[in-house]
Amino acid sequence: MEPIQLPEWTALGPALLLAATAIALFVVDSISPRSTNRNVLAGIATTGSLAALGVAVWFSMAGVGATGVDGFGVIELFDGQFVVDQLALYFMIIVAVVTALVVVASYDYMAGHTYQAEYYSLVLLAATGMATMAAANSLVTIFIALELASLPSYALVSILKDNRGSVEAGLKYFLVGALSSAIFLYGISLVYGATGYLQLGNIASVIEAGDAAAYDGLLGLGILFLIGGIAFKTASVPFHFWAPEAYEGAPAPISAFLSSASKAAGFVIAFRVFTEAFPLEATAGVIGIDWTVAFVALAIVTMTVGNFAAATQDNVKRMLAYSSIGHAGYALIGLAGLSADGGELVMGAAMMHLLVYGFMNTGAFLFVALAEHWGVGRTFEDYNGLGRRAPVACFALAIFMFSLAGIPPLGGFWSKYFLFSSALEAGLLVVAAALVINSALSLYYYSRLVKAVWIEDPVLERDALTQPTGLYAAIVVAAVMTVVLLPGFGPVVDTALEAAAAIV
Amino acid sequence: MEGVFDYAPAIALFPLVAFVVVLAFGTYLPKKGALPGIIATGGSLLLSLVMAAAVASGEAYHETLYEWAAGDATSATGVEGVSFTFGLLIDPLAALMLVIVSLVAFLVHVFSLGYMNAEGETGLPRYYAGLGLFTFSMLAFVVADNLLMAFIFFELVGLCSFLLIGFWFRTKSAPSAAKKAFLVTRFGDYFFLIGVVAIAATFGTVAFAGDDSFVTAAETAIDGGDQLFGFDAQTWVTITGLLVLGGVIGKSAQFPLHTWLPDAMEGPTTVSALIHAATMVAAGVYLVARMFGYYALSPTTLAIIAFVGGFTALFAATMGVVKDDIKQVLAYSTISQYGYMMLGLGVGGYVAGVFHLMNHAFFKALLFLGAGAVIVIMHHEQDMWKMGGLKDKAPVTYYTFLAGALALAGIIPFSGFWSKDEILYDALIVGLEEPVIMAAYAMGLLAVFFTGFYTFRMVFLTFHGEPRSEVAEDPHPVGWSIKAPLLVLGVLAVVAGIANLAPVAKLAGVDITFLEHWLDGEYGAIEGLTYTAYGELLAYETSYIGSEQVTVLVAAGLSLLLAFSGAGLAWLLYNKPEPVAHTERLGSAGKVIEDNYYQDEYQVWLAEGLTLPLARAADRFDQTVIDGIVDGTSTASLFGSDRIRRLQTGIVTNYAALIVTGVIVLLLVLGFLGGWF
Amino acid sequence: MTVAIEYYVLLSMGLFCIGLFGVLTRRNALMFLMSVELLLNAANINLIAFAFYHGNLTGQVFALFAMALAAAEVAVGLGIILVLYRNFRDVDVTVPTTMRW
Amino acid sequence: MLLETLLAVALLGAAVVFVAPNRIAGKLAFAISLVPAAISLWLFAAFDGSGNALLEGDLAFESQMEWIQFGDYAITWFVGVDGISLPLVVLTTILTSLAILSSWTPIDERESQFYGLILFIEANLIGVFVALDFFVWFIFWEAVLIPMYLLIGIWGGPRRKYAAIKFFVYTNVASLVMFGAFVALVFGLGDAVSSFALPEITDAMINGDGVQTALFGVDPTTLTALVFVAMFLGFAVKVPIVPFHTWLPDAHVEAPTPASVLLAGVLLKMGTYALLRFNFTMFPTDVIEPFVVPIAAIAVISVIYGAMLALAQTDLKRIVAYSSVSSMGYVILGLIAFTQFGVGGATFQMVSHGLISGLMFMAVGVIYNATHTRMVTDMSGMADRMPVAVGILIAGAFGYMGLPLMSGFYGEFAIFFGSFGSEFLAYAPVFTAAAMFGIVIVAGYLLFAMQRAVFGPYNLETEYEVTRAPLHDIAPMFVLLGLIIALGVAPELIFEMITDAVDPIIANGGDL
């Protein structure tokens, strides 16, 4: 129990801190627009994201949003437009972690670039949006938060204005994003039409009361369009098309940020919307079908497309991009496996996966950032023999790869196993089988990267590579966390399950 | 004398110590390791004699010394638990064999001083270590009190044989011969091992002697009419007996697994004398004698043993006729003689078989060592056509060799006559009742003629006539270390027959069949392992031509007649100053014989013409089909991957189209399932 | 006299389809962007119509939000199209295909 | 906590060596590896357990603690040893030390990484054998792949990349199959189990009612059978059993000598160990029964087919690799015989084959170090220049052939004896006799190779003088040879402990 009772609005502390940091960065930059003090900017951004992380962890540990005896209970703000429960805090933690890693890594990556302050503040604004998504409890706030996350992301992807790849990536991301958000908005309007409400809880009550029975087609179409919007954010098939290009063309830290944090944020709204607003049984009564069927199909197709497309890539970043799509497929199991009589196990497993993914995938992309910082090139062949020059970073890369492949003894194994086991328990034999097959395939291309850096001989002799502190620190922290999560997975399981139980 | 048996393990362990010492320090020892070997085998010989004396004083020894492994396994006959042990069984048979083996081993060690050391061979520690290990294994095999232990040392002597045949490993032929020797005997041992396993699994014991021996158990099972592994007990005993016989046939170089022995002559002649004539090859026959009680239970097996023995005796003898290499002649002669022993045992002539085993050990070791001496004299020339006239230049060698030859040819009164005659007599009396045995007897008898012929052809070509090469005119002198063993063995070859003058005994009615009494347990013995006990188990009927005496005379007369004819023919053809080859006269038959009836060819074909291509085909199958499926899976996946990534065309309009398509597909599927339309 | 809700929905759907058609066929980035605006406005029509239908203001308020967001989106979009033009000397969205497969 | 210490020493040792300078890495790793070896020998001496670890046996050095609770199932840290696992642990530690020693000569780049990986692999191998919770076991089981992948990939031969990735992906796919099947089994057990502790699951399978819940519409009996088959297939790749063996020759041939030593010596035993622990301990005999004859047939085919493949090879390492396939066939035969001698002999054979194949690979490696070729066709008369190494190679070859008084013979004999009289296996004598023919073929190909490679006139054309190997190459081989002979002369050294742990398994067969 806390000795001091904080005012209720502080429950959104992590998001607010991120927003404040973004504004602070603007302010600092406005004080002397002509000079750029990178240390100060990066310091502020790091401090802000770490503070947000600290607060989120603190809240989570202290029992904010926990429903138990020693918890504070779920905190609802602005008439239930926002809600801070364990789920929200859990995802805020993920977002904050990734943000912190990305910000630290960007210090070196962005060295020499213009628009430093803008860069950091856009990152933090996007993070704010994502943190807000975690707490949003109404389709309105969800949409706004989503846009708050998306718009800075478009800008961030194309921030390397003279880089054709970056611009192309930004364009594609933006166009697909615009289309998707339009579809999402249209879905919201249909759901609103069918139920008359935008707040999740109210929608559920209407459906449960059977008042929406007359609008089965409308509601069904609306739900389908909502799935579309979410699929865009999580980079799931068929809305994944932006991802390979955006991740490939964007500055690598941004790729890391988008593929980890943005995806997690996409999943949190998916989890919340579908559990809170569309109770499975009642919705099925209206639209005549379990919406989990859609997620089953999406999960299988997404993981298969992602993994298969990743298998033969030559460009490392693009391989990681497709792998990221594959992982979205894994996490979709969290929704596919929901059932009327519970499902916190499967959703919890998906949440665990997103946390671990936050470390290992961010780490992997940050390694790419490091490689871009060195200027060694982009393909597997360019990476050949890096292990001789930069053993520590490459060791970390091996950890990320094997963890992404989900093989022990790394954190990725646990979350993948829990997904698998809960899918089995949910009776999704086909999904579980697809998970296994795709994992087997993924091992091939992940180990290809390990092979490149550790096994292959360098194509040409390199000079010693620099060791940028920020990038190294971020990578090492991510790697250590990926390893430590193996023995220390117990608390993660407990937290994730509790968070999932909050909404299921 | 009872306490002396406590020292029995030392008989085998002495040479083992010598092996270790020589292996570790041989290079630094004087005589490069010969001395430890001589001392060890000498010690073994002394102890063996002491054991023999102890047995003569009425003792026998059967003791389990070490439990190798044990466990619970219920045998087919219902025995609970099994233990595999190392133990000693020193009965008259073993004691006799101990003396033979240690004596020959000792003499060969001494001989080696002249044959190997004096000739400046390199790698001598390896040689003496091999001899030591061999002697150890062979002695341990002899005293083994159970079938598994026997198998273990049976294999180890095979290893030593391999190592020693391949002593001159820098040549092409020696390693090849060593490999062949090991492989062919291994093929026999495969059946032997199945036999051991089968016997152990059937009876829960592998002991040779005592109440819990597998022999007793088998007897009980047959009497009780048990069903074992789906066969009636009698058949099963036959099957297992035949399986063990596989090892015997391999090791004792019986048809069809005899092909390795002639090749084994690539080894040093001393090794040939010790391993490939006197002792290791005898191991097979000894094993049959050792578990004779078991074979006695199965007339079928015995008949097969007899037939194989008789056939091999004739078969090998014919091949010996045309060989030009002195060692080759001896090698085929060895095969042939072991055929006799098998014949003897197969017709129930336990004493006769063992008797011939003993005599053969002496005279064949003598002949090989004599041949070794000749080879030294001839500066390592082995072709008899390049020799001649050595009679006067090397009298000791000549006369001892002649004694051995007379014994081998079965000329009265040399040792070989007595034992061979006894075998043929035993075969004849059984053969009068059993046609199969009669056929075996006939072949054995016919072989006597060939034996006489090739033996004396060898003697005449080597020692008589004029020297046919420069080296034969200027022979290399040999030292005492060569002469002394020859003399010892020469004396034995002449007089060893006294041990069992059965025909004399039968004709004159004098009780001078010492060996028979020895093996029949009149001194010390283990119950059940006696000639009489075996006789009771045997199911053979016997009959005589007229009376027993007449039969003895007929048998002896026939074999002597044939032996003399063979020797006489050799005298006619080859005892000339300048003998010429007569092989051409045999025509196409001669060609067949010279090529050893194509036995090597078909066996080599089995290995290289059939197995190897089969292996290569399997390898190709493995590389293409099985591995192809594995690689194909990965190729297919990667192909699929390549297709799927083509979805990503890079054109954003296509993406929008695909997104819309995806949504529509989902809409149609969900709508159809949900009944929205 | 009120127009039945179905007509609003049909209108918005028609608009949506027009927008979609534009998205699929227009290669000019600006046209693409305008088509997206059509899509958004289709949703807005729905929101407002349903707000009227359901008798609460949530939809109308949300429509305002949506318009503001659409404006922001256009701002970002125009920026991106600007740099697109600088880099590719064209605003055809099918031209930038350096990254594919 | 002794087992934890054992693991921790190896893991920390790996970390220390990883950051040590290349110059001293080899010696440092050897020194560190002596510690686990000493601990494991001490464990061996102080072993006081009895019975089978999974069947309510009295465990030695066990410890168990909470780890993760997910849904209805607890995952615990649970380790301990019994008579089956302890010999394998000792084998692992000793073989690792010796493998490190034998790497001093061939490994001349990135030493610290190499030795670090070796120690890391050692830790995981120990973990596989001591783990008693499914997840602890599986984590170590899979973790072995990574260092081996890198060892083959970085320090391997010309086709190392292909071999490494094939090894990695193939065995991992197999693990996934097995893993999925096992998880399904545990779910099928329903409320009967509350954790992934192997003894608990075994208890539910053997003494409890077994699988009672239908899963995915598959009835419990079929489900159990399917799981049995899937797990068998999963382990079959690891063992490997024909036709899942093709990764092995590639991996063996390309791997650097010390990795081959560990691969053949210990990694293959993981598969047979797991088969014993899972398939043949956890499943009641009536589940196994329908598969007995097919499995025995596969075992025999592995023996004969593997031997035939070995016969067709000219690369010494490839010969030894295929002969491993052949030898593992014996182990399967022993396991399926389901008698004390069969299963005990199979376990014995695991240890024995570990020592012998380790010895063979070392000997081949030493010759390779000197000649830079392994092709039988390229060599001739090596005995002339390297008498000691060749002598040991020959000794190893005879060990492989099952020469009596070397450990291989006892293993094979016990297997044959156990399977010949097996009442569980129909036509046991026929299968046994057929499998035994392997001892002829093995003699054939090894002697054939010896004859061509080490005997005959010396005529290898090298640009340098081929000389005797240094002591630190020879010494480990002598140690192995000593162990092989010691176990051959006195198999009871470990066989007693093994049978003690095997007996409860056999007892479960009831009145077979």
- DSSP-based three-state secondary structure for D161: helix
SS3 D65: strand
Of B641, B648, B658, the CB nearest to A312: B641
Instruction: Determine, for residues D384 and B67 on separate chains, whether the beta-carbon distance falls below 8 Å.
Output: no
pLDDT tens for A432-448 read 999 999 998 898 899 88
Is the separation of the CB atoms in D49 and D130 below 8 Å? no
**Nearest-angstrom CA–CA distance, D322 and D307:** 7
- Taking the Cβ of residue D327 and every Cβ of chain B, the question of whether any pair is shorter than 8 Å is answered with no
Contacts of D398 in chain B (CB under 8 A): 159
φ and ψ at B349, to 5 degrees?
Answer: -85, 70
Please tell me the predicted confidence (pLDDT) of residue A362. 94
Helix (H, G, I), strand (E, B) or coil at C65: helix
Q: Of B148, B170, B187, which is closest to D440 when you measure between CB atoms?
A: B187
Torsion of CA B571, B574, B577, B579, to 10 degrees: 160
In a domain, B340, yes or no: yes
Task: Please indicate, yes or no, whether residues B359 and B486 belong to a single structural domain of this protein.
Answer: yes
Q: State how far the alpha carbon of B79 is from the alpha carbons of B64, B212, B217, B243, D282, in Å.
A: 19, 10, 10, 22, 29
Q: Find the radius of gyration of the CA atoms of chain C.
A: 17
CA distance B654 to chain A (A): 9
Q: What interhelical angle do A116-135 and A86-109 show, nearest 10? A: 170
Q: Do D403 and B159 touch (CB under 8 A)?
A: yes
Distance of CA A29 to the CA centre of its chain: 29
Residues 6+ apart with CB under 8 A from A198: A138, A139, A140, A188, A191, A192, C58, C59, C62
CB B186 within 8 A of CB D439: yes
CA angle in degrees (0–180, nearest 5) for B496-B500-B504: 115
Q: Which residue type occupies D427?
A: Y
**Does C14 reach chain A within 8 Å, measured CB to CB?**
no
Q: Do D71 and A345 touch (CB under 8 A)?
A: yes
Residue B659 structural domain: 650-677
Query: Cβ contacts (< 8 Å) between C15 and chain A: which residues?
Result: none
Average pLDDT of chain B is: 87
Give B-chain residues touching C84 at CB under 8 angstroms: none
Domain-wise residue ranges, chain A: 8-503
**Can you say whether the dihedral through the CA atoms of D248, D252, D255, D260 is positive or negative?**
positive
CB nearest to A493's CB, from D70, D168, D216 = D70
Alpha carbon dihedral D106, D112, D113, D115, in 10-degree steps, equals: 60
The band of D511, judged by pLDDT with boundaries at 50, 70 and 90, is very low
- DSSP state string for A274-343: IIIIS-HHHHHHHHSS-THHHHHHHHHHHHHHHHHHHHT-SBHHHHHHHHHHHHHHHHHHHHHT-BTTB-
CB atoms near residue A78 (< 10 Å) = 12
CA of B624: how far to CAs of A226, B618, B629, in Å?
A: 51, 10, 8
Cα–Cα dist B205/B84, whole Å: 8
pLDDT at B490 over 80: yes
Residues of chain D found within 8 Å of residue A487, distances taken between Cβ atoms? 67
Contacts for B263 with CB less than 8 Å, ≥ 6 apart:
B176, B177, B180, B181
pLDDT, greater one: A24 or B582? A24
Total number of residues shown for chain C: 101
Asked if the C-beta of A180 comes within 8 angstroms of chain B's C-beta atoms, the answer is: yes
Is D in contact with C (3 or more beta carbon pairs below 8 Å)? no
| D183-219 tens-digit pLDDT | 888 888 888 888 999 999 998 888 887 787 777 778 8
What is the CA angle A459-A461-A462, rounded to 5?
115
Tokens of D164: 């490494």
Q: Is D155 on the interface with B (CB under 8 A)?
A: no
**Per the domain annotation, does B54 fall within a domain?**
no
What average pLDDT does this structure show over C16-32? 91
Distance from CA of A168 to the nearest CA of C (A): 6
Query: Chain B contact for C93, CB < 8 A?
Result: yes
Residue B1 has pLDDT above 60, yes or no: no
Phi, psi (degrees; rounded to nearest 5) at B341? -60, -45
Question: Cα separation of A346 and A333, whole Å?
Answer: 7
Highest averaged pLDDT of the listed ranges B316-325, B532-541, D406-415 = D406-415
CB neighbourhood size of A120 (10 A): 29
Instruction: Please report, as a single letter, which amino acid is at residue B598.
Output: Y
| Gap between the Cα atoms of B536 and B297, Å rounded | 10
Rounded to whole angstroms, the Cα distance separating A321 from A323 reads 5
Q: Which of B293-297, D144-148, D382-386, D409-413 has the lowest mean pLDDT?
A: D382-386
> Rounded distance, CA D116 to CA B244, Å?
52
Q: Would the CB atoms of D143 and A454 count as touching at under 8 Å? A: no
| Residue in chain B nearest C97 by alpha carbon | B650
Q: Which residues contact B331 (CB under 8 A, 6 or more apart)?
A: B261, B262, B264, B265, B272, B276
Give the DSSP letter string of D258-324.
HHHHHIIIIIHHHHHHHIIIIIHHHS-HHHHGGGHHHHHHHHHHHHHHHHHHHHT--BHHHHHHHHH
- The listed range with the strongest mean pLDDT (A301-315, A330-344, B255-269, B591-605) is A301-315
To the nearest whole angstrom, how far is the Cα of A167 from the nearest Cα of chain C? 6
**CA-based angle D305:D306:D311, to the nearest 5?**
95
- Closest CA relative to residue D229, chosen from D170, D277, D273, D275: D275
Rg (CA), chain A: 21
Side-chain-facing half-sphere of B405: CA atoms under 13 Å: 26
Same domain, B564 and B664: no
Dist. CA B251–CA B138, nearest whole Å:
13
Does B661 touch chain A if contact means CB atoms closer than 8 Å?
Answer: yes
Q: How far is CA B161 from the centre of its chain?
A: 10
Instruction: Examine the domain organization and report whether B349 and B310 are in the same domain.
Output: yes
Q: Domain boundary residue among B589, B609, B626?
A: B589
ipTM for the complex shown: 0.89
Sign of torsion over alpha carbons D14, D16, D21, D26: negative
Residue A365: its pLDDT value, please? 94
Whether residue D37 has pLDDT greater than 60: yes
Which residue of chain B comes nearest to A310, CA vs CA?
B641
Domain count, chain B: 3
Write the pLDDT tens digit of every residue in D464-501: 777 777 888 889 999 999 999 999 999 998 998 998 89
Q: What is the pLDDT along chain A (504 residues), one digit of tens a residue?
A: 444 677 888 888 899 999 999 999 999 888 877 777 888 889 999 999 999 999 999 888 887 777 666 667 788 888 888 998 889 999 999 999 999 999 999 998 888 888 888 899 999 999 999 999 999 999 999 999 999 999 999 999 999 888 888 999 999 999 999 999 999 999 999 999 888 889 999 999 999 888 888 888 888 889 999 999 999 999 998 899 999 999 999 999 999 999 999 999 999 999 999 988 888 888 888 888 888 888 999 999 999 999 999 988 999 999 999 999 999 999 999 999 888 777 888 999 999 999 999 999 999 999 999 999 988 888 998 999 888 888 899 999 999 999 999 888 888 899 999 999 888 888 888 999 999 999 988 988 998 899 889 888 888 777 778 889 999 999 999 999 999 998 888 889 988 988 888 887
Q: Which residues of B touch C97 (CB under 8 A)?
A: 649-651
Q: Is residue B494 part of a domain?
A: yes
Q: Do the Cβ atoms of B615 and D447 come within 8 Å?
A: no
Give dist(CA B295, CA B215) in Å, integer: 9
Q: Is D377 left (phi over 0), alpha (psi -120 to 50) or beta?
A: alpha
Q: What is the largest CA-CA distance in chain B?
A: 122
Q: Which of C40, C97, C100 lies nearest to residue A182, judging by beta carbons?
A: C40
Q: What is the DSSP letter of A68?
A: S
Chain C contact present for B652, CB below 8 A? yes
Chains A and C touch (3+ CB pairs under 8 A): yes
The CA-based diameter of chain D, rounded to the nearest angstrom, is 71
Residue of A nearest to C61 (CA): A140
Look up residue A133 and give its amino acid.
M
| Distance (Å, whole) CA A227 – CA D206 | 47
H-state helical runs in A196-290: 200-209, 216-234, 242-249, 252-257, 263-272, 280-287
Residue B429 resides in a domain? yes
Residue in chain A closest to C64 (alpha carbons) equals A140
The rounded distance, in Å, linking the Cα atoms of B559 and B554 is 9
Compute the distance between CA of residue D329 and CA of residue B276 in angstroms, rounded to an integer: 35
Tell me whether residue B12 is in a domain: no
Whether B653 sits inside 8 A of C98 (CB atoms) is: no
Query: Do D488 and D409 contact (CB within 8 A), yes or no?
Result: yes
- A448: closest chain D residue by CA: D165
Element (H, E) at B48: helix B34-56
What is the set of domains in chain C, with CATH numbers?
7-88 (1.10.287.3510)
Q: How many CB atoms lie within 10 A of CB B303?
A: 18
Contact D183 A418 (CB under 8 A): no
Cβ pair B650:C27 closer than 8 A: no
Q: CB neighbours of B24 closer than 8 A, spacing ≥ 6?
A: none
By the 8 A CB rule, do B491 and B400 touch? no
Comparing CA positions, the residue from B545, B543, B558, B547 lying closest to residue B506 is B547
Residue D27 tokens read as: 């010696």
Gyration radius from chain B CA atoms: 31
Q: Name the residue range of residue D487's domain.
A: 2-508
Q: What is the pTM of this model?
A: 0.92
Q: Is the link from the previous residue into B175 a cis peptide, with omega within 30 of 0?
A: no
Burial grade of C49 (CB within 10 A; 0-12, 13-18, 19 or more): buried
Work out how many domains chain D is built from and give that number: 1
Q: Are residues B408 and B467 both part of a single domain?
A: yes
Where are the strands (E) in B168-283, listed by range? 227-228, 231-232
β partners of residue B570: none
- Give pLDDT tens digits for B354-384: 999 999 999 999 999 988 888 888 888 888 8
